[in-house]
Structure 1
Amino acid sequence: MHDVFAENGPVKLFIHDDNDTPLEFMRNLLRTVFGKSRKEAIAASARIEAESGIACGPYPAAVAQALLESAQQLIRSNGHPLLITAAAADAARPCDLCGALDPVTDVFLGRKTVCLCSNCLLAARASSENLPGEEFRYAFVALGWHFAGVPRNQILTRSRQFPGHMRADVQIAIDRLFDAPIHFFGLHEAHRYETLDFAALMEDSRNAPAIAPPQYHDVDVGEPEPVKCLTNGLWLCRAEELRYAVLLSYHRDYRSEPGLRIELAVPAGAAGNTLVQRTFAELEAAVHAARSYRGKILSLEDAANYRGRAQGVTVHRLPTVARDDVILPDRTLRLLDRNVLGFVESRDLLRGLGQSTRKGILLYGPPGTGKTHTIRYLATNLPGHTTLIITAEQVGLLGAYMSLARLLQPTMVVIEDVDLIARDREDMGGPCEESLLNKLLNEMDGLKEDCDILFLLTTNRPEELESALAGRPGRIDQAIEVPLPDETGRGKLIRLYGKGLPLDEAIIDQAVARTAGVSAAFIKELMRRIAQASIARGGGRDVTAEDIDGALNEMLFDGGRLNVKLLGGAQGRSAV
């Protein structure tokens, strides 16, 4: 060591990591002896830990000797085993691998320092492709090896962001595009609302993002198996001789829907720019193909006082409703067939004749008459259509719903109880719902004439919508009344809901006669109570007039007027 100082040439001091000396002591040593700032000391101590040591200097021989003596005195006085060695800082020092006199770089391997020329450094770092992933503890170490020989100011990053409800499709696209990386890592997310990016990953500080097990969230897309969606991930890839990296990070914002951020890091230059453009084009094409949710019945996931904090999309698994299970007057069925099913079948021909392929339908009628049941029939029978179900409480999310509707065409957008968003502020005691109705109508206005989007609105109170819709003609193309069931309809409903009961024609006729003016929902409940009465009386072997009497008395009279109203009882005249 004394010979190094006696030569009076520049000297480097090497601080070796021993896994025993406290990190705080090393930071203090770097600040008090080597004159580092607090930030520099934090970064240098992280490098010591990650790279098994660092080189300080070069210094003039006398300065290096004084620094070494001061450092060793501080180390001894604190009883730590930290090792600091000195070596001549000769610019012509040969490469330890090939002996070349090219400019060399100090590389720490374990507790030893070796000097490598540029060619050997690249070769050594290229060998990292064969290293097991667990050899890397921090993201900045893995990225340093991956982009060996490329100055940091020559690494460019570009990003795209996708909404959270497209998470499954983004994941499927990424899995396909980056299925054979050199290395893949999960990343530790220390702070929930700080989105990871390459600037953070390349930081070699004490708080440097660590490599961690990949974390996945199962997203239901209505298939037997959910899609495993990654929270944060880093892919190190190569296209021929060009190395690049891909970062997926889950972006959370307290005030809006969580999103996905995809960032690419490439060396500056034409080749890197071409790769980024091609990769993002392929990614966006794969995402916009949007196969995960197409043809299904969806709604954006609900949350109390929704502010975008829900997880994404809910897939509704509704049983298929058969045509014979839709009990409506013939006039109503003909209107539905012509304006929904027939319209959808003729869309291509209409488009060819220059006609609009968007449409708005309003289903109106008293509560319990089967509007929701009719919607389920259409949703489960429209060929190739995606159905979006929006409740009145979710109209604030209309923008996100319309983005989905455009993406997943052909779509049917269902808004139930639309009258609830059309009431005055004084009546509702909340935000101005009239503006929300206008927002809905504006969205309908803004659609292109050739879009394949069908709006289906329902209301129990058409009079509350009449003025707003009349002032914007052309938004609703057909209003269809879903009335209380007529005599024929009541007979069909009694047979449908009582199909497990031993009903003879006389009993059916009596039940039909005594249920004039009631809703379909009332008849459904009536048949359940008749079944209960039959079981209590005779084990369910037959149904008598007394069973009907008991059920109707309980539903229409014993519970009072409120009970009749709640059950969808007689709305025209009293059932007798």
Structure 2
Amino acid sequence: MHDVFADDGPVQLFIHDDDETPLEFVQDLLRTVFGKSKQEAIASAALIEAKGAIPCGPYPAPVARALFNSAKWLIRSNGQPLMITTESADASRPCDLCEAPKAVSEIFLSGTTASLCCDCLLAARRSSEELPGDAFKFAATALDWHFAGMPRNQILTRSRQFPGHMRADVQIAIDRQLAKPIHFFGIHEQYRYETLDFAALMKAGRYAPAIAPPQYHDVDIGEAEPVKCLVNGLWLCSSDELRYAVLLTFHREYNYESSLRIELMVPAGAAGNAFVQRTFAELETAVDVARSYRGKILSLEVGPNYRGRARGVAVHRLPTVDRDEVILPERTLRLLDGNLLDFVGSRDLLRKLGQSTRKGILLYGPPGTGKTHTIRYLATNLPGHTTLIITAEQVGLLDAYMSLARLLQPAMVVIEDVDLIARSREDMGGPCEESLLNKLLNEMDGLKEDCDILFVLTTNRPEELESALAGRPGRIDQAIEVPLPDTVGRDKLIRLYGKGLPLEPSVIDEAVQRTAGVSAAFIKELMRRIAQTSIVRDGGETVTAADIDDALNEMLFDGGRLNVKLLGGAQGMSAS
């Protein structure tokens, strides 16, 4: 084998990639043996991964021999398989950029191969887009390459956090703002209980965060397709000659909602600071504009270990309830129209006249009379309104609900069975729910006069609210009774819930007479049982008065008094 060191001519050394030698060892070799700076070593090691090998030199033969022997000794003593080869070089070539007769290395730049000296190599590496993304294996390498030539103490990071239940809106905003990055990477998160940040990404060594395929969660926003939300991601970007990086991840806290965290890495100084302020302002505007849940019917999800912060948003897909499906007395319908539908339509004029545009409504009446059905009618017919449905058990989440209401207004906030939070501590045997009712009333009173938020409270026991509401006038603008159906209402309900049955007028009349004092829920169940009886007899071809007798006997007598109460029947009803 020819000894290239025996010739008088210059010699080039080639360092080859073997996919086994740690990147940190290669960087250390380049620094300790070949005298490269830290940034130069990082750039050169990345090139080795990208191209399979890079040349070092050319050097005079004696220098090349000394470097080769030192490198081989370091490789053997550390038990690494890294390979270094030698090749004769005719003469030192000038740098393609500065034209100085220095030792050069070849790199791929702007679609062609260039021979650059160490100084120009470092400058060229500031254009990290020239390196294919799959050349990077670790986040630290990608960041060092992206900010090459800039000391770490001249780089700073700033962050913003968003509630976890806003992740769909944040994802939509991020996708719009970072549509054309230089590079985008997913990041492998080894320890899910720790918050991943840029400080962690800059770590090298055995536990360095690795670049990985991006991971997404599908988040339902009530549309045909869910929003594909990123678990964590790293963007390398540039703007007006300013290099920056963006990290999306989660701030985790045991038993609490994970906050969505956006962190920016920029050069220190006035330009970087101005860029951060502008970028976060644009991001927050984009999040506000996204509003994936606007105009939908929502509630906050809770888990068994819930501690008072939202874990996510559930979207309720409720069928539209038409007005003719709301069987209520005419006076009740007029109150609903005037205080809700007409009120919403007049908001702009009310605001111009200096009047408040917030509203509080109390729907009260016996169980099963249609309060929930009425809420569904309002929720599916109020134009452009977001409906937030809060059960009594979720009143502790009122702060989160109110934040959503303010963000997504115009909104309707529904608190069902509000009497359950108005009872005394002795009655409930737990924390003082009376304070929760006061908190609710304070939230209603604390809203700005021009906010577009409707409160609709429902209760089966209005007497338990009277003292609290009377002592805080102005929170409820209108109480609306949802009574037991009258004769006309029962006729409409029987026809509505029996619309698929062959009902003769005489049968309808008898059913109306026999159901005086019952709830709408009772009539709905009655019609189902009549249908069952008819199916057993002749496949649902006919309905007779006897079918009514059979259904009423089963509902009123066979099950006892408790069954009558559970079904919403009236005491004293007869079967015949």
TM-score interval, normalised by the smaller of the two chains? 0.7 to 0.9
After TM superposition, the structure 1 = structure 2 runs for residues 413-432 of structure 1, keeping only pairs within 5 Å, are: 413-432=413-432
Alignment partner of 1:268 is 2:272: no
- The answer to whether the 8 Å contact 1:47/1:205 transfers is no
- The answer to whether the 8 Å contact 1:522/1:567 transfers is yes
- Residue 364 of structure 1 is matched in structure 2 by 364
- Residue 251 of structure 1 is matched in structure 2 by 251
- Residue 188 of structure 1 is matched in structure 2 by 188
1:265-292 Cα deviation digits (max 9, x unpaired): 1112222222222211111111112431
**What's the C-alpha RMSD, in Å, of the aligned pairs?**
3.7
- Residue 457 of structure 1 is matched in structure 2 by 457
Count of residues paired in the alignment: 533
CA separation of 1:453 and 1:21: change in aligned 2, threshold 3 A:
closer
- Residue 121 of structure 1 is matched in structure 2 by 122
Partners of 1:201 and 1:21 in 2: CA distance: 21
Partners of 1:483 and 1:99 in 2: CA distance: 90
- The answer to whether the 8 Å contact 2:172/2:290 transfers is no
Partners of 1:393 and 1:107 in 2: CA distance: 68
- The answer to whether the 8 Å contact 1:385/1:411 transfers is yes
- The answer to whether the 8 Å contact 2:125/2:148 transfers is no
After TM superposition, the structure 1 = structure 2 runs for residues 3-402 of structure 1, keeping only pairs within 5 Å, are: 75=76, 116-126=117-127, 128-307=128-307, 311-402=311-402
Partners of 1:310 and 1:339 in 2: CA distance: 31
Amino acid at match of 1:474: G
- The answer to whether the 8 Å contact 1:515/1:575 transfers is no
Partners of 1:377 and 1:288 in 2: CA distance: 28
- Residue 570 of structure 2 is matched in structure 1 by 570
CA separation of 1:461 and 1:571: change in aligned 2, threshold 3 A:
farther
Partners of 1:348 and 1:575 in 2: CA distance: 54
- Residue 38 of structure 1 is matched in structure 2 by none
Which stretches in structure 1 are left out of the alignment for 5+ residues?
A: 5-13, 35-44, 56-64, 86-92
Segment drifting more, 495-504 vs 286-295: 286-295
1:509-545 Cα deviation digits (max 9, x unpaired): 1111111111000000001111111122222222111
Q: 1:254, CA displacement in angstroms?
A: 1.7
User: What is the DSSP-based 3-state SS (H/G/I as helix, E as strand, rest coil) of the residue aligned with 1:256?
Assistant: coil
User: What is the DSSP-based 3-state SS (H/G/I as helix, E as strand, rest coil) of the residue aligned with 2:354?
Assistant: coil
Partners of 1:104 and 1:432 in 2: CA distance: 80
User: What is the DSSP-based 3-state SS (H/G/I as helix, E as strand, rest coil) of the residue aligned with 1:483?
Assistant: coil
Partners of 2:400 and 2:94 in 1: CA distance: 60
- Residue 90 of structure 1 is matched in structure 2 by none
Q: 1:46, CA displacement in angstroms?
A: 11
Amino acid at match of 1:392: A
Partners of 1:285 and 1:15 in 2: CA distance: 50
Partners of 1:102 and 1:241 in 2: CA distance: 29
- The answer to whether the 8 Å contact 2:255/2:305 transfers is no
- The answer to whether the 8 Å contact 1:507/1:545 transfers is yes
- The answer to whether the 8 Å contact 1:303/1:309 transfers is no
CA separation of 1:115 and 1:348: change in aligned 2, threshold 3 A:
closer
Partners of 1:430 and 1:417 in 2: CA distance: 17
Partners of 1:293 and 1:392 in 2: CA distance: 22
- Residue 501 of structure 2 is matched in structure 1 by 501
1:447-474 Cα deviation digits (max 9, x unpaired): 1011000000001111111111111111
- The answer to whether the 8 Å contact 2:369/2:485 transfers is yes
1:126-181 Cα deviation digits (max 9, x unpaired): 2x313221110011111111111111111121111111111111111111111011
- The answer to whether the 8 Å contact 2:43/2:122 transfers is no
User: What is the DSSP-based 3-state SS (H/G/I as helix, E as strand, rest coil) of the residue aligned with 2:518?
Assistant: coil
Alignment partner of 1:434 is 2:434: yes
Partners of 2:150 and 2:21 in 1: CA distance: 33
- Residue 543 of structure 2 is matched in structure 1 by 543
- The answer to whether the 8 Å contact 1:502/1:543 transfers is yes
Amino acid at match of 2:380: T
Name the TM-score, length of structure 1 as normaliser. 0.83
- The answer to whether the 8 Å contact 1:186/1:233 transfers is yes
1:338-383 Cα deviation digits (max 9, x unpaired): 1111111111111111111111101011110000000000000011
CA separation of 1:503 and 1:80: change in aligned 2, threshold 3 A:
closer
Partners of 1:95 and 1:157 in 2: CA distance: 39
Partners of 1:95 and 1:571 in 2: CA distance: 105
Amino acid at match of 2:166: M
CA separation of 1:108 and 1:192: change in aligned 2, threshold 3 A:
farther
Which stretches in structure 2 are left out of the alignment for 5+ residues?
A: 6-13, 33-40, 50-55, 57-65, 86-91, 109-114
User: What is the DSSP-based 3-state SS (H/G/I as helix, E as strand, rest coil) of the residue aligned with 1:257?
Assistant: coil
